[in-house]
A and B are shown apart, each in its own frame.
Chain A
Amino acid sequence: MSTDDESFHPLGDEWEDELETMLDDTEYDSDLGMEMAQDAMRVTKGELSEAEFHEKHHEAVMEEFGEDERPTKEAYEAAQEEAKGTASRMLDAFDGDGGETRRETMKKMGVGAAAVGMGAFGSTRDGPMESLSAEGGHSETTEHSDTQWGMTIDLERCDGCLTCMSACTQENDLDAGVNWMYVMAWEDELHEGHEEGTDTGVYSSDFNMGSDFNMLVRPCQHCTDAPCEKVCPTTARHTRDKDGLVLTDYDVCIGCRYCQVACPYGVNYFQWDEPHTDYEDIDGYEDPENPDQITHAEYEYGERWVDSRAPRGVMSKCTMCPSMQDGKQGEEKIGTSACESACPPNAIQFGNVKDEKSDPYQHREHPSKSRAVIRLSGEHTDSRGGIPSPETIDGTLSSDDDMESALEKFENLDQETLSIMKAVQLVSDRTEPGDEENNSILRKEQKVVAAVDAFEQYVDLETDEAITQLQLGDGSERQARFRIQQYTGKPNSFKLLEDVGTNPNVTYLGEQPGPEAEQVEGPTKYEDIEVLADKRQDILDEETVGGIDGGSL
């Protein structure tokens, strides 16, 4: 990528010009927009503080829009107060459930400023931002789809049960050792592993955070800049335009295996011999006799054979279940994957990573809250069961109840659960989950919020006494976040091998393995599960002609 010196934007001159044209089309001052966008970039580089940025353009923005609700307002005000010596920003350490630092917010804003034209102009509802993005939406968006399937995987919730691996193997009729999905335990110097003879601790804590296994869940990363696709001499390995899935056309692949060579993650598995499941034995969804139904995925120009186990002589890897995404396995499976559906602790969140209402997006941006919501909704192995519906609450509670008596009326509700529910309600921005597929986290959040709202019809949870009882500090949003983090932890997030430049679409929550990390035996052994095998070479060696046992170059 070439960046001209004249251009402030990382995407360069041309892009910047395009944005300026977009700005010119609005009723607002383009020069101000561009200048602010430029300064926003400086903020991301640390050349300018947020407060300075806000102050610099404050007057111009007030003049142009009559209000100044840019996200930097808080920093500006804090700086103002700090200058007066009245406030400190000590509590900022707990700020943001999303785990996003101010710098990161600004970084995104800076990019956004240029991307949509003027993120810097603020986030006020019905403000200039809205009209601009609406206009921009018409002219752009044709080149890149709004859908990018991907995952957010909570490694601290993974208990290493390997259910996802066997679900994938069964869904796709894979040979033993063809581990499209691979789950491993690991350790390195900073992350000690499990010691023999001690309790595994897997179920001893709420979120497996007490487990001494460090896990890594490795599906294909469905990279935006997939090296496997780049090196493919045939275009068999390709990205499906409509949803960003990286797939292999089994009818085109010549089996040169260069994709396996180029993939830094080692997610590819070649079909060295005849697959153990005959093509005819792959079951279609509605018509079991027609395997094409689920082995062929939809494209603008027809269908291609990209799903299920590969035939002999071609490459295969995790597909993120295109037959499900195409609705060929029923409406309810759109936006899900076999591994996600199978995962007992709900550690895998699959969905459209570009959609801010989707599970992977929500889980990535608000990991602690999402963990709490998932757990409150009673899908965790160690769950205390679901939360009561507003109707149940209405039918159970009366205005005479106080907190204690009210809690006694619900079997599944105790003070701690209520405390977390109230905390979720406090931090929730009440985003509607919408009709999109698999926005389950927001839906569950909505239920939690509705339950607390209903509860509060009978018992006031906002009194000082109640807030103290629920351990919510001063009852502020910040304290509520802190409470949730105490409960679910505040995981790191990372993408695997980002330094290689693949731009992966799987985000991990939890500990990142260091460069010297080594796989160790996990809580469940591969050989204990019938359909699975770990070292495929042992199976392949059986067919090698004149091979030497155990010998290696």
Chain B
Amino acid sequence: MSTKEPSEADILRPINTLTKKYFLVYGIAAIGLLAFIVAWGYQLQKGLVVTGLGDWGSGGGSTWGLYIGAFIWWVGVAHGGIILSAAVRLLGMDRYMPIARLAEMTTIGGLSAAGFYIIVHMGRPDRMVTSIIGHYHITVNNSPLVWDVTVITAYFVLSATYLGLTLRYDVNRLRDDLPDMFEPIYKIMTIGYTKREDEVIQRMVWWLAAAVIIMAPLLLHGGVIPWLFALLPAMPAWTGGIQGPMFLSIALMSAISGVIIISYGFRRAYDWDHIITDDIFRGLLLWLGFFTLLFLWFQLQAVFNGIFLGPLDKAHAAEAKIAHPLYRIAIGLIFASLVYIFVQGIRPELFSKKRAIVVSCAVLMGTLTEKVLFVVEGFMDPHFNIYANTPGTYFPSAIEWLSLVGTTALVVLLFLNLSKLVPVVELHAIEHLRGDHEHSEEATEPEVEA
């Protein structure tokens, strides 16, 4: 660990500096988002015919594709992010405190991207409010898509509350060093703040974290999101209880990878070697390895259930899955990542942050590919596979590919903006690192031997 003493000035640095590199990244991200918005405008003008999608069945297409695949992937990143942060608070994993807020912001970013995808995917986005909200009291009883919208909204509220509450402490204490031009925002954020609330907020945050941890497997990414697919008997590639754990493992893998990349970016940009330490990266990498192992285990279960002995529809779906070159690449990437994580666990000198970044990117690519494929697979090998045009064909159009650039840019912009407004590392984390935090005596996870 670095001998440098973490200070308030460290976490204020992103807010009070303005570099060329920042503008460069901001510019690239803005162009990326703008490019997609223009493309989306074209899609709105022409209709969804500009995508590579089509009607499954006699039509020989795929009803859903990259948009929905990327949607569940972003939801996964978001859910994983908040689970990570909640685990840090709930289980007292204090060494990850410096990245807890980054994980929470990842959640907000992921949910924004996912929400954007819902709108982009619709044939009539203009009716979102009237049609969905207007019939909510009826549809919430049966439609998994409405359950989805419900839990995503609940999650957004939960995450935003969580983030908002913890920010009050920091903003109040660091107010003098924060830029005056955002004064109205700070005022709203800290409205009615007194020092006596700190303890109450701590408790509230703890309960929110508890709610997140309990809801994650039961209702969120381990439940409602996979139910969008797993409950449909018509698509054997999707059905089955394994999808719950599978989705949750993917969510956590994606989120941890995302947080590793984002943390690395901030550490590099603002010299935070002594705040986001190597130790954090090593720890995150081990957790990534753990969830990767779970993911591969669930994949094995899902595929093996199909290929051993029927039923026929399940067998066809499973056979098509393992025969698909992209599936093999995705699983290969993830498996190779697991091997590296395992080996560097045994021989610590094999660890480097660059390698951790490579592994994180590999895992993110792998999970995104798996997600998009998973969505398409359903339509390629349905239960009723009599049609000559089934399996059909689907290849994402340029606009669909561009949506990945656009949503990634959206998340990057969110971070770039937030980092100028509030500290992305908690004040608590700094206090803890300095050893002057009131809760520092709580049980902490044993640190990984480096």
Q: Which residues of A contact B (CB under 8 A)?
A: 177, 179, 182, 184, 186, 216, 227, 230-236, 252-258, 260-274, 312-315, 496-497, 500-501, 513, 515-520, 534-538, 540-541, 543-548, 550-553
Contact = CB atoms under 8 A, between A and B. Distances in A.
Given A233-B146, A536-B59, 5 more contacts: A233-B131, A268-B55, A269-B59, A273-B47, A534-B58
B299 interface: no
A534 B39 CA distance: 30
Contacts of A216: 386
A271 B54 CA distance: 10
Contacts of B388: 184, 518-520, 534
Interface residues of B, number: 70
A517 B382 CA distance: 13
Contacts of A513: 386
B56 interface: yes
Contacts of A548: 395
A256 B58 CA distance: 19
10 contacts: A179-B59, A216-B386, A254-B123, A264-B234, A265-B384, A266-B55, A272-B48, A518-B388, A540-B59, A553-B376
Chain A contact residues: helix, strand, loop or mixed? loop
A545 B54 CA distance: 14
A481 B4 CA distance: 99
Interface stretch (B100-108, B132-140, B346-354): B132-140
A553 B329 CA distance: 13
A182 B149 CA distance: 34
Contact of A535 (B42, B60, B132): B60
A179 B343 CA distance: 56
Given A261-B63, A262-B234, A184 B392 contact: no
A272 B389 contact: no
Contact of B42 (A236, A252, A545): A545
Given A233-B146, A516-B312, A273 B49 contact: yes
B145 to A, nearest CB: 4
Contact of A254 (B46, B52, B122): B122
A529 B145 CA distance: 39
Contacts of B383: 264, 497, 500
A230 B127 CA distance: 19
Contact of B382 (A184, A252, A264): A264
Contacts of A262: 232, 234
B289 interface: no
A266 B56 contact: yes
Interface in B214-251: 232-235
Shortest 7 CB-CB contacts between residues of A and residues of B: A255-B123, A266-B57, A546-B398, A313-B123, A264-B234, A536-B59, A273-B49
B86 interface: no
B395 A273 contact: no
B36 interface: no
Given A253-B131, A265-B384, A519-B386, A536 B60 contact: yes
B122 A256 contact: yes
Given A253-B124, A497-B383, A515-B312, A537 B397 contact: no
Given A227-B234, A535-B389, A254 B128 contact: yes
Interface of B: 39, 42, 46-65, 121-125, 127-128, 131-132, 134-135, 138-139, 142-146, 149, 232-235, 312-313, 326, 372-373, 376, 378-379, 382-384, 386-390, 392-399, 401
Given A313-B124, A552-B395, A272 B54 contact: yes
A73 B47 CA distance: 66
A550 B234 contact: no
Contacts of A263: 234
A516 B54 CA distance: 24
Contacts of B386: 184, 186, 216, 513, 517-519
B56 A551 contact: no
A496 B383 CA distance: 12
A544 B54 CA distance: 10
Nearest to A526: B58
B131 A252 contact: yes
Nearest to B229: A261
A381 to B, nearest CB: 26
Given A269-B55, A546-B398, A537 B60 contact: yes
B399 A236 contact: no
Contacts of B139: 232-235
Nearest to A185: B388
Contacts of B146: 233
A256 to B, nearest CB: 6
A534 B389 contact: yes
A500 B233 contact: yes
Chain B contact residues: helix, strand, loop or mixed? loop
A430 B54 CA distance: 51
B149 A314 contact: no
A327 to B, nearest CB: 29
Contacts of A232: 139, 143
Nearest to B62: A553
Contacts of A543: 46, 49-50
Contact of A501 (B42, B233, B390): B233
A227 B232 contact: yes
Contacts of A253: 123-124, 127, 131
Contacts of B142: 230-231
Nearest to A546: B398
A268 B384 CA distance: 14
Given A230-B142, A265-B384, A536 B55 contact: yes
Nearest to A262: B232
A234 B54 contact: no
A553 B376 CA distance: 8
A314 B50 contact: no
A140 B389 CA distance: 46
A551 B46 contact: no
A177 B57 CA distance: 11
Given A252-B131, A253-B131, A537 B393 contact: yes
Contacts of B234: 227, 262-264, 500
A274 B49 CA distance: 9
B145 A256 contact: yes
Contacts of B124: 253-255, 313-314
Nearest to B395: A551
B123 A547 contact: no
A504 to B, nearest CB: 12
Given A266-B382, A270-B55, A235 B135 contact: yes
Contacts of A312: 47, 123
A378 B132 CA distance: 52
A258 B312 contact: no
B123 A179 contact: no
Given A231-B143, A264-B382, A264-B383, A540 B58 contact: no
B123 A271 contact: yes
A546 B232 contact: no
Nearest to A540: B54
A181 B58 CA distance: 10
A550 B396 CA distance: 12
A234 B393 contact: no
Contact of B373 (A258, A546, A553): A553
Contacts of A515: 312-313
Contact of B122 (A182, A236, A255, A264): A255
B58 A182 contact: yes
A244 to B, nearest CB: 18
Contacts of B135: 234-235, 252
Nearest to B59: A536
Contacts of B376: 553
A389 B42 CA distance: 66
Contact of A536 (B61, B326, B390): B61
A269 B143 CA distance: 20
Contact of A274 (B47, B232, B382): B47
Nearest to A183: B58
